Amino acid sequence: MIRMQVWWQSDVMWSFRHSPVALGSFIVVAVLLLGAVFAPLIAPHDPFNPATLNLMNGFTAPGAPNAFTGETFILGTDDQGRDVFSTILYGMRISLFVGFAAVALGMLIGITAGLVAGYRGGWTETIIMRVADVQLTFPAILVAMLIFGIAKGFTPVEYRNEMAIWVLIIAIGLSDWVQFARVVRGATLVEKQKEYVQAAQLIGRSGFAIMLRHILPNVMSPVLVIATISLALAIIAEATLSFLGVGAPPTQPSLGTLIRIGQGFLFSGEWWILFFPACTLLALALSVNLLGDWLRDALNPKLR
């Protein structure tokens, strides 16, 4: 109970309660996240069960009853008669899963590389940071595309569709570890000089334990900020790759895939198939980004 109170009255929470932008974007993210997690319960239709689809329902405009069946869909239907609202909920599941998993992977690699580079120094540091520098000269989205292409090539043909989501996670994760590594290394170099680390060394703790139990907890706040901003970037990267047709497979459409499908109906007037997934993607990416900005300011009072 007391712990809760301390947490609620901490500086970060105070700043959160008094920032309308942070509150607003938190609510948007929370609603979208809940919608994605509980998609099977909320979605009025199961877009992946062909038995429940009725082709007669195709191209129903949002909110209007269908001319043949009389059914109404709140955000309309696509050419196959799939409910757009339901496909968005299921699409968000894929987008968010890929986003979170990719950031987790990037974080794992980046933190490990950064800790080792900062703590060990020497040629280990030189090699890790050189690789990071080289990767940083290429735009992340290009790196992700290249890794996706290479990994797809190495995957046996019969597993390509099943594995696509995992390949996507690896590609995006490997494309954004550099930010984490740079920040963690910088912070580790500072922490390494402090007395508590020297004390731990003196009582004979292993390098591994010092990095993990002593230094890591003290470099976590910048990592948290980068993770939030990386999440927004990863969601956009996933959407871009899927939009280009080199991401999520057609059997597991993400928001990007839905936008790709919707673009095909731009000229024939069925705007809702494109419009609603695009708005969802923007709302998601923008509010995660705003949360990241707020977090950066809140954890770093010096910047204000």
Partner 1 sequence: MGGRLLNYIIRRVFQSVLVLLVVGLVAFSMFRFVGDPVDNMLGQERTDADIERLRAVLGLDQPFPVQYWKFLQGAIDGNFGVSYRQGRPVSEIIVERLPATLELAMVSGFLAIMVGIILGVYTAIRRDGWGSNVIMTVSLIGVSLPTFLIGILLIYLFSVELDLLPSFGRGEVTHLGWWSTGLLTASGLKAIILPAITLGLYQMTLIMRLVRAEMLEVLRQDYVRFARARGLSERVVNFRHALKNTLVPVITVTGLQLGSIIAFAIITETVFQWPGVGLLFINAIQFVDIPVMAAYLMLISVMFVGINLAVDLLYVAIDPRLRGEAS
Q: What residue ranges bind partner 1 (CB under 8 A)?
A: 130, 134, 137-139, 141-142, 145-146, 148-150, 152-154, 236, 239-240, 243-246, 259, 263, 266-267, 274, 278, 281-282, 285-286, 289
CB of 213 to partner 1, least distance (A): 35
Residue 72 is given by DSSP the state: B
What is residue 80's three-state secondary structure?
coil
Please count the helices (runs of H) and the strands (runs of E) in the chain.
15, 0
Give the pair of three-digit tokens for residue 113.
Answer: 């590389």
CB of 266 to partner 1, least distance (A): 6
- Residue 205 or 296 having the CB closest to partner 1: 296
Measured CA to CA in angstroms, residue 266 lies from 60, 155, 271, 273 at distances of 15, 34, 6, 9
- Residue 155 or 218 having the CB closest to partner 1: 155
- Residue 45 or 260 having the CB closest to partner 1: 260
CB of 148 to partner 1, least distance (A): 7
Give the pair of three-digit tokens for residue 98.
Answer: 């890929």
- Residue 224 or 244 having the CB closest to partner 1: 244
CB of 110 to partner 1, least distance (A): 20
Measured CA to CA in angstroms, residue 105 lies from 28, 142, 159, 171 at distances of 25, 18, 22, 10
- Residue 50 or 156 having the CB closest to partner 1: 156
CB of 159 to partner 1, least distance (A): 13
CB of 98 to partner 1, least distance (A): 15
**C-alpha of 238 from chain center:** 8
- Residue 39 or 281 having the CB closest to partner 1: 281
- Residue 120 or 152 having the CB closest to partner 1: 152
CB contact at 8 A, 252 and 168? no
CB of 176 to partner 1, least distance (A): 15
Which amino acid is it at 219?
A: V
Contacts of 166 (CB under 8 A, 6+ apart): none
Residues in the chain: 304
CB contact at 8 A, 236 and 250? no
- Residue 172 or 259 having the CB closest to partner 1: 259
Cα distance between the two ends of the chain: 32
- Residue 101 or 235 having the CB closest to partner 1: 235
From 208, 205, 185, select the one nearest 196 (Cα to Cα).
205
Which amino acid is it at 6?
A: V
CB of 149 to partner 1, least distance (A): 4
CB contact at 8 A, 47 and 82? yes
CB of 262 to partner 1, least distance (A): 9
What is residue 199's three-state secondary structure?
helix
- Report the C-alpha gap between 149 and 141 in whole angstroms: 12
